[in-house]
Amino acid sequence: MAQIPDSHRDILVGQNFAHIATLGPDGAPQTSPVWVDVDGNDVLFNSAEGRQKVRNLDRDPRVALSVHDSGNPYRYIEIRGKVVEKTHEGADAHIDKMAQKYLGEDKYPWKSPNEQRVIYRIRPEHINTMG
């Protein structure tokens, strides 16, 4: 396991977008920007069942993400690791918490009536930082 250094933890705590890379069915990489949360030394993100990255992570838990400080993009953190937990429990409350962090709104405003939210917990195995 790798420790998130105190020097760059603020990048994950702040309103910065993580770009998360997962593996498609053929093993090719895919990447997309996501909101992220940090819980102790784990990174959490919230998605919805049926999305490509959810299908990818359910097939292969290996994941990477990189996040640059929006105020100084030469300062960033890169994390490689694995999904250690997937849960639906608390996922609606958690996406509201993410909306508070990123949008300053009490409720996540873009929820579809039929979507099932899901929280992925990522445990870092390798971390690089810059700046």
Kindly list the residues in this chain that would bind its own copies in the complex (CB under 8 A). Answer: 17, 19-24, 27-33, 62-66, 68, 70, 73, 76, 78, 80, 128
- Nearer to its own copies among residue 30 and residue 87 (C-beta): 30
Closer by beta carbon to its own copies, 9 or else 75: 75
What is the DSSP-derived secondary structure letter of residue 9?
Answer: H
Q: Where are the beta strands (DSSP E) in the chain?
A: 18-23, 29-34, 37-39, 42-48, 62-69, 72-87, 117-130
Nearer to its own copies, 30 or 116 (CB): 30
Q: Classify strands 42-48 and 37-39 as parallel, antiparallel or unpaired.
A: antiparallel
Least distance in angstroms from the C-beta of 44 to its own copies = 17
Nearer to its own copies, 90 or 100 (CB): 100
Residue 73 to residue 54: CA distance in whole angstroms: 28
CB of 127 to its own copies, least distance (A): 12
Smallest separation, CB 119 to its own copies (Å):
20
Reduced to 3 DSSP states, what percent helix, strand and coil does the chain have, rounded to the nearest 5?
Answer: 20, 45, 30
Q: Is 25 exposed, middle or buried (0-12, 13-18, 19+ CB in 10 A)?
A: exposed
Minimum CB–partner distance for residue 33 and its own copies (Å):
5
